[in-house]
Amino acid sequence: MSDAVLDLDRVEKGYKIGKPGEIRVLRGASVAIARGEVVALVAPSGAGKSTLLHIAGLLDSADAGTVRIGGQDLTRAGDRARTRARRQAIGFVYQFHHLLPEFTAAENVVLPQLANGITHREAEARAAELLARVGLESRAMHRPSEMSGGEQQRVAFCRALANKPLILLADEPTGNLDPATAGVVFDTLLTLVRETGMGALIATHNPELAARMDRVLRLEEGRLVAHTGA
């Protein structure tokens, strides 16, 4: 897909497990995600979802295959290029928010922008805009310990989107929340992704949330296949 914000082509990955050999986790996994497209990734625990997301997010390297982000082949890029791409083109959200506890909500959203060379004034304005968009303008000066789990995860979304990435990668972003809160938080995530026009690959065990995305892929025996049923 020429206009894909994320294009994984026949990605392979294995891990050595001692003398017997290795476990092949990914066996030619391929996916292309267009701008504005939200794709669900479903699979049993241990099937390789996190491995796939880490390779897509340039946190790990594939043994074979190609990883392109925004049309740029980053498969064999060096550490500096990979770090720059992670900072500028990729947003991450995990099951646990991983906010910096000593900083306020606003500061957690400002910091990645400063690391990307944005001025402090611009970063503060962007943080205020994002927090207002998710209904947290009144919580901007609160630290994570002073916010609920759902509020903390919404701050994590804002942080992931702070540098206007091309692709959002989310690993069970509502898995640590109760069902009611998870629904509200997921609504927020979908709204943010669709408003900004980025692509998104979201791993989830929740079939109801997966069904609300544009398409659902299942990781089976190391390959990505279209998911057509419950």
Q: Which residue has the higher pLDDT, 206 or 71?
A: 71
Helix (H) or strand (E) holding 111: helix 105-115
φ, ψ of residue 29 in degrees (nearest 5): -75, 130
pTM comes to 0.88
Say if CB 22 and CB 15 are below 8 A apart: yes
> Residue 79's CB: how many other CB atoms inside 10 A?
8
Mean pLDDT (whole number) for 125-145: 92
The yes-or-no verdict on residue 229 having pLDDT over 70 is: no
Say if CB 217 and CB 225 are below 8 A apart: yes
Domains within the chain, CATH numbers bracketed: 4-226 (3.40.50.300)
Q: Which residue has the higher pLDDT, 1 or 155?
A: 155
211 alpha carbon, distance to own chain's centre: 18
To the nearest whole percent, how much of the chain has pLDDT over 90?
A: 50
C-alpha 195/C-alpha 127 separation (Å) is 16
- DSSP state at residue 146: G
The pLDDT value given to residue 43: 84
Say if CB 21 and CB 179 are below 8 A apart: no
The yes-or-no verdict on residue 63 having pLDDT over 60 is: yes
The pLDDT value given to residue 20: 64
pLDDT in tens, 104-119: 999 999 999 999 999 9
Say if CB 205 and CB 40 are below 8 A apart: no
Which of 78-82, 181-185, 224-228 has the highest average model confidence (pLDDT)? 78-82
> Cα(first)–Cα(last) distance of the chain, in Å?
28
The pLDDT value given to residue 186: 82
